């Protein structure tokens, strides 16, 4: 890797996480932001050729086909985008001496655990989305052990509305807020993810599997209630304070199975950065304060 300001290619730069990384890393390197228009993962060879042409020090692939239900019906496309493109990028990175940081997901797990998943826990996906993301991980690590796979979950942040944004906006409109109360994971704030991943830019940082999410476990209902509570403390005119619990089994619009329990332990990244990831409640509070400063805590 080159000293000084490394060249960093970010695939999926228009997404929630990708956009946060583009902003965060602009001060630390020569960032090339690639959205679908510039480099479409449905054409893995073209994406790999871009890596060869640019010869960067770091490539971050945060692009994916993330619509879990669509993956069930568009299986070939899902495998191309989520697995084969990741593998093509990894092999191209190895050729030019770059490190690939491949963003993956808690959906590689079955959700049958009794405690947060460690990085070395055995994956067992129960959806085609999870299966193709796991295949992407496997292709990346087969290409070079110095590449890194970073699993995240329930991503939220300022660049695109997420579940917590929608819950707060629904409350501001005075409409009923409903959320699943029997599915657990660990929310991941994009600014915290981007900050932690900078440690992987160092050539001495070990490759392999990392989990990067905020500490703690919650349900979608807990997450919604926390967001509404923080918004109220900040003076936002929330009207609906109670979040009605739903059962995951009753969400009939969902085609694919979802892991019921998929919080993740972040021991490896915490050891690398020398501090614990902060709690999901702290991250939600910071995010809502940001929205408040931008005048976005009002009804649409």
Count the neighbouring beta carbons within 10 Å of the beta carbon of residue 24: 17
- Distance, CA of 122 to CA of 118 (rounded, Å): 9
Q: What is the mean pLDDT of the chain?
A: 96
pLDDT, tens digit, 9 for 90 and up, residues 288-300: 999 999 999 987 6
Contact in structure between 6 and 57 (CB atoms under 8 Å): yes
What pLDDT, in 10s, does the model give residues 119-143?
Answer: 999 999 999 999 999 999 999 999 9
Three-state DSSP string of 190-227:
HHHHHHHHHHHHCCCCCCEEEECCCECCEEHHHHHHHH
Q: Which fold has domain 7-156+188-214+263-278?
A: Rossmann fold (3.40.50)
Query: What tens digit of pLDDT does each residue of 214-260 get?
Result: 999 999 999 999 999 999 999 999 999 999 999 999 888 889 999 99
| pLDDT score of 299 | 73
pLDDT-based confidence at residue 4 (cuts at 50, 70, 90): low
> Rounded to an integer, what distance in angstroms lies between the CA atom of residue 188 and that of residue 199?
17
The model's pTM = 0.96
Is residue 1 very low, low, confident or very high in pLDDT (cuts 50, 70, 90)?
Answer: very low
- Closest to 107 (Cα-Cα) out of 87, 86, 131: 131
Which DSSP symbol is given to 31? E
| Closest listed residue to residue 98, CA positions, set 200, 211, 191 | 200
Tokens of residue 161, six digits: 């509305």
Residues marked as catalytic: 129
Torsion angle, alpha carbons of 284, 289, 295, 298, to 10: 50
């Amino acid at each position: 890797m080159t000293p000084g300001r490394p060249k960093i290619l970010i695939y999926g730069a228009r997404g929630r996480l990708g956009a946060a990384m583009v902003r965060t890393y602009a001060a630390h390197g020569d960032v090339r932001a690639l959205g679908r228009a510039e480099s479409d993962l449905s054409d893995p060879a073209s994406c790999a050729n871009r890596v060869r042409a640019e010869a960067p020090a770091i490539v971050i692939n945060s692009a994916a086909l993330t619509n879990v239900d669509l993956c069930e019906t568009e299986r070939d496309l899902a495998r191309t985008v989520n697995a084969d493109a990741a593998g093509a990028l990894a092999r191209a990175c190895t050729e030019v001496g770059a490190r690939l940081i491949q963003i993956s997901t808690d959906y590689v797990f079955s959700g049958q655990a009794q405690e947060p998943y460690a990085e070395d826990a055995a994956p067992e996906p129960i959806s085609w989305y999870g299966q193709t993301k796991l295949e992407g991980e496997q292709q990346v690590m087969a290409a070079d052990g110095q590449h890194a796979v970073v699993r995240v979950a329930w991503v939220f942040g300022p660049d695109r509305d997420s579940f917590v944004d929608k819950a707060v906006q629904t409350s501001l409109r005075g409409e009923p807020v409903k959320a699943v109360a029997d599915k657990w994971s660990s929310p991941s704030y994009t600014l915290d993810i981007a900050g932690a991943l900078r440690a992987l830019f160092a050539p001495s940082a070990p490759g392999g599997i990392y989990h990067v999410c905020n500490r703690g476990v919650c349900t979608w209902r807990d997450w919604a209630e926390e967001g509404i509570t923080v918004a109220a403390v900040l003076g936002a005119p929330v009207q609906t304070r109670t979040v009605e619990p739903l059962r995951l089994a009753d969400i009939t619009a969902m085609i694919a199975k979802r892991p019921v329990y998929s919080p993740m332990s972040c021991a490896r990244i915490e050891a690398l950065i020398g501090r614990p990831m902060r709690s999901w409640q702290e991250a939600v509070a910071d995010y809502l304060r940001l929205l408040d400063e931008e005048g976005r805590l009002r009804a649409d």
